[in-house]
Structure 1
């Protein structure tokens, strides 16, 4: 079931997983929610094919790449390949170019879905219908197909047709309303795509459950995921408190159920989180007045039995021995950008993390190979390229 565990620079065992070997996932996605679902399935062993088109590029292929990549390749290549989130969301997959608005492209898409076990998509409801397709029609054609639809607000409801962006969804889900100083104004701006990320993992779990529940002749399912609802599930504790006490939840500053938590500066410009030490105590004032660097302050607090931890920046997380020993990060080689560090899927399975099989694929890199798998000849593929069906 596992390949032999391997150790990569920095520590941590990684293993090739074949749990989903033989399963094929077709993906028409953009952004993070749903692309990350596909990546999870790929690193569990599935063959995940990302269907893309110049007519409607993944948003992560049109964003301005990091300045650090300047000069590595031409501007167009960097625009398509250089944005970091593309590699986090779409590692370990294959990519093909296919214009679904072209009748021949749509026919090839349907033939591809005939070979699939799952179809993952996250465009607003109605896009399939505009192509003359529907989820029901796809399930009639392939009764064992698992369809995962991950959209901002679900397939139905008053917001279902609206565009979804991370801060809007976390605001509607109640997350932003909990961020701010105690008894003060809402500050919000958590600046993390919680709706996308939480929805992606739900999508993977549900896809696995649905795949397990199929029969030889049927059992296909349509899984309708709302990114906003997935995000709202993270504030369940506040909702329960409202139901119990009737008080509308709001910003609580640094308060925790066990007492106050303080985030304090250190002498070297860092920050430290302290729990269980009253800020009006002499001990608290003495510790801060001592002017210790961050690591010294943390060590001193822990020596006194006080819970304390440094606030790490993302680059410090990547370099942290604890995370590296656990295999939280892996290096992959990108054909244009060179070596890249990407986060692992955060699971340990029989003592190893799933290997990141590759960086995100170059745009359309596997088009000819996948078309050949459908039985097309080199001449037919060349004609489709010329006619911009494979576009």
Structure 2
């Protein structure tokens, strides 16, 4: 049995954050009905440079596999009426429109709660449902900029955005946690609730330690720039003679082991390496010494030597390298899903933690499940044909 077997979710979300939340629900066994506009669907369907089905991009597929796609035009009264039928039978509704959009469709949380008091509604926005910034739109890099993350990640060329949608994804995971907490309360009280999730809040949660240190000291740890909390040179990235390495010698025993592996045990008593504070105070000198010392190693050899000595370490790898690593294969981190209109199956990351594997259905073609889902609502073939003729469904 999967943890969320029997849970019925209506997904009005698009792009990354909301679909990441509902992707996690699918991974745990929920039935997710993804409501999309006819003809165009979720805009993320179009993010493709690789050929194949034009409305089934690989980025879209990675977070929407296993969902059921229903094409409904919510700009029509008939489309909204169908959505109400879905909502009335749902346990969860996930949406990521700007505040007020659903209200204008007559789908405010108060209206939904009146018709389905047990429903948990999750709203994901850039800045939340209330506050001076609530009406603003946001993308991942906007949240990185607003939250201070871009400045924390600054390099020689200035502030840098992290090279993947980390805030979008983390917002989706936080939404899942909030949703599951609300479901637990719902199961105890019989009453659902409205979960308000904001990308800015999620970004600040990621830099929680930095926020707390600043609130107490008035300083940003590490200042502005990509050192951040990496205040010691023995815990940073370095070029080697071949490849890059990430050192993780954070405490004194690890530093002493690092020096032994590098062939310089005499430096264990060197004042520059004698304590955490000494390594902070002599950061530039220690980094310069390590840069020279590591230039005589291959990253692969150093990784093997330090790992054997139980010092945290990693070669810097491309995503494709780690995805094909035997460790990932043994853990079952990736699984394959059918990608209609493409030439082969697609590897996607599972739940991200060890759990009973959930067989994953194909990535949904836009509107592929419209007739099947509407039939479960008692809308027969003749009525569906009429709705399709009117443009209410696709």
**Cα pair 2:10 2:32 within 8 Å, conserved:** yes
Over 3 Å counting, the alpha-carbon distance change for 1:24 and 1:274 in structure 2 is same
Partner residue, 1:9: none
Query: What residue in structure 2 maps to residue 202 of structure 1?
Result: 174
Unpaired stretches in structure 1, ≥5 consecutive residues: 2-16, 73-77
The superposition leaves residues 10-40 of structure 1 with CA deviations (integer Å, 9 ceiling, x where unpaired) of xxxxxxx2x2222210010111111111111
Q: Which residue of 1 aligns with 2:302?
A: 297
**In 2, distance between residues paired with 1:307 and 1:22?**
42
CA contact (8 A) 2:230 2:236 kept: no
**Cα deviation code 1:53-91 (max 9, x no counterpart):** 13763121233x133xx3x4xxxxx3311x222122212
Tell me the CA shift for residue 275 of structure 1. Answer: 3.8
Check 1:255–1:189 CA distance in 2 against 1; reply closer, same or farther (3 A cut). closer
Counterparts in 2 of 1:214 and 1:162: CA distance versus 1, 3 Å:
same
Count of aligned pairs:
356
Q: Does structure 2 conserve the Cα–Cα contact (< 8 Å) formed by 1:39 and 1:90?
A: yes
Give the corresponding residue for 1:327: 332
Task: Note the aligned Cα RMSD (angstroms).
Answer: 2.3
Higher helix share: 2
Tell me the CA shift for residue 220 of structure 1: 1.5
**Which of structures 1 and 2 has the bigger CA Rg?**
2
- Residue 173 (1) aligns with residue 147 (2): yes
State the 1:307 CA deviation: 4.2
CA apart distance, 1:50: 0.2
Given the alignment of the two structures, is residue 381 of structure 1 paired with residue 388 of structure 2, yes or no?
no
Alignment of structure 1 residues 63-102 onto 2, 5 Å: 63=47, 65-67=48-50, 70=51, 72=52, 78-81=53-56, 83-102=57-76
Structure 2 residue aligned with 1:279, among 287, 295, 305? 287
Q: Deviations over 1:157-200 (max 9, x none)?
A: 2222222111001111221121135xx77532112222211111
Identify the residue that residue 45 of structure 1 maps to in structure 2: 29
Residue 189 of structure 1 aligns to a residue in which SS?
coil
TM-score, with length taken from structure 2: 0.83
Contact residue 186 and residue 251 of structure 1 kept, 8 A: no
User: Which structure carries more strand by proportion?
Assistant: 1
Structure 1 residues 238 and 46: alpha-carbon distance in aligned structure 2, compared to 1, 3 A threshold: same
User: What CA distance in whole angstroms lies between the structure 2 residues aligned with 1:324 and 1:258?
Assistant: 35
Aligned to 2:80: 106
Compute the TM-score of the two structures, normalised by the length of structure 1.
0.84
Give the one of 358, 363, 386 matched to 1:360.
363
The answer for unaligned runs of 5 or more in structure 2 is: 250-257, 259-285
* 1:251 aligned residue: 224
